[in-house]
Structure 1
């Protein structure tokens, strides 16, 4: 089985893309709704919560987990891969949604930490909309800068978006908030052109249309679910030991919060009913 972890509902946008790409694969989703949101938490707290989520998913029989939470991936992924996973769970692995986005922007594989001498990335400016913790981590500018130094990265934290999206706020409430964050990012550019933006939170694809409406014409909007599904396929081709047996498709949904409440709200993110089961925190 393949696990998918998020602090709340947002990872369901990634899960939907994974299921659509390979409906015969079995998935287990865990939303840490009791501790959400992660974006305003400190790094050590995020790391601890992420480790706890991995332990729950490994206990469910997952050999591979995708961290479908940009905050957790940005803050905790490299640390847990290097210092926790090898000793605690050898033979299992954890991936994150930040990796496919960095690869798509730089066109350089994640495992290459420095730009190859013959790689000439096109100079351009990329904006990143993300949670405060993801912005504070510096993961996007750091990892993009290693692989494509000619790409300028400008970040904008969006602290109010996840709570609004989680509670199902209407477009009338969301649109001015999104427009305000877009205006703040553009103000950092001092009139310089913007080529593309990263929606660096898995909640944000649900309001991608509002970002597109607020951004200048011609700015490319990069969302993570499709890129993550493509990246997982490529990873499983390289690592068949993590590939589930065919014909075992299906999804189980777990939450550390209220299962009835989460089930009621989460279907909007996944596009189908999501019968969550309660997992003790």
Structure 2
């Protein structure tokens, strides 16, 4: 891989593949390398310190494979690890010119454009909600918005166990939607602040009034990456363009990873094992 310099995409598991799919539609010519830390997932309930450690280990692994730019396609990692990686780790890394981007800031930059009532709900993992990252970032760009949050701790396990389209998921989808909507009757936009959640989109919309917009992150992050590369030609010129995609998982059961990854990526996936630690 050292003759290639791909864009790295990281997630704690499979959810980042929904973002990767959108990025690939916008920028198909680049080389990509995806890693899912499925051996240590889920991240949602782990501490800041642990999430930073796991995320930085996977980022370094991607760097060592030749990646110049890494996207944390994981809200929990973006909330709990990105700032430390950008402000501390990269400065002392052997090649400080490499870059790491997240998914929270690009989303916060545009989410205010979706709402008429100026009241939005953020649905995420417990870790993302507790970090307060969306409250902080959205306030930077749309200080007039009222932002309500709801942790949905059971949605990721439901999705990663392949139950997202089964009747058993209905109760927990309705439960968390009711909890966020009871916080204010004026919420007209719901942000899916976890890259797993788009797989629940049909069920989510089925329980909502058609007047409420449901916003996923894939297209937002993809368009933000296009803009980033246009504004940073020094990085863009370092990235190779052979149109290749490689997938890795930190569990040695790659067949299991491939099975679930195809659900998220909506295309065949053949992965390799990544010995991160």
Q: Aligning the two structures, in what range does the TM-score lie when normalised by the shorter sequence?
A: over 0.9
> Which is worse superposed, 43-52 or 142-151?
142-151
- Work out the CA distance in 2 between the residues paired with 1:228 and 1:91: 22
In structure 2, the residue matched to 1:280 is 275
Question: Which of 170, 175, 189 does residue 180 from structure 1 map onto?
Answer: 175
8 A Cα contact 1:123 1:150, kept in partner: no
Deviation of 1:251 (Å): 0.5
The alignment's TM-score, normalised by the length of structure 1, stands at: 0.91
In structure 1, the residue matched to 2:99 is 93
- Work out the CA distance in 2 between the residues paired with 1:260 and 1:171: 23
Q: CA, structure 1 residues 157+213, in 2 after alignment: closer, same or farther (shift >3 Å)?
A: same
Question: Which of 80, 104, 109 does residue 110 from structure 2 map onto?
Answer: 104
Q: CA, structure 1 residues 218+122, in 2 after alignment: closer, same or farther (shift >3 Å)?
A: closer
1:9 paired to 2:36: no
Deviation of 1:86 (Å): 1.6
Deviation of 1:245 (Å): 5.3
- Work out the CA distance in 2 between the residues paired with 1:24 and 1:144: 32
1:163-178 mapped onto 2 (5 Å cutoff): 163-169=157-163, 170-178=165-173
8 A Cα contact 2:18 2:218, kept in partner: yes
8 A Cα contact 2:117 2:187, kept in partner: no
- Work out the CA distance in 1 between the residues paired with 2:158 and 2:260: 13
1:66 paired to 2:71: yes
- Work out the CA distance in 2 between the residues paired with 1:245 and 1:231: 17
1:130 paired to 2:135: no
The alignment's TM-score, normalised by the length of structure 2, stands at: 0.92
Match of 1:188, SS state, is coil
Deviations 1:239-271 (A, max 9, x none): 122225564111000100121110122101001
- Work out the CA distance in 2 between the residues paired with 1:245 and 1:104: 27
- Work out the CA distance in 2 between the residues paired with 1:140 and 1:49: 22
8 A Cα contact 2:112 2:118, kept in partner: no
Deviation of 1:147 (Å): 2.5
Deviation of 1:78 (Å): 1.4
Q: How many residue pairs were aligned?
A: 266
In structure 1, the residue matched to 2:143 is 149
1:51-62 mapped onto 2 (5 Å cutoff): 51-62=56-67
- Work out the CA distance in 1 between the residues paired with 2:161 and 2:119: 33
In structure 2, the residue matched to 1:118 is none
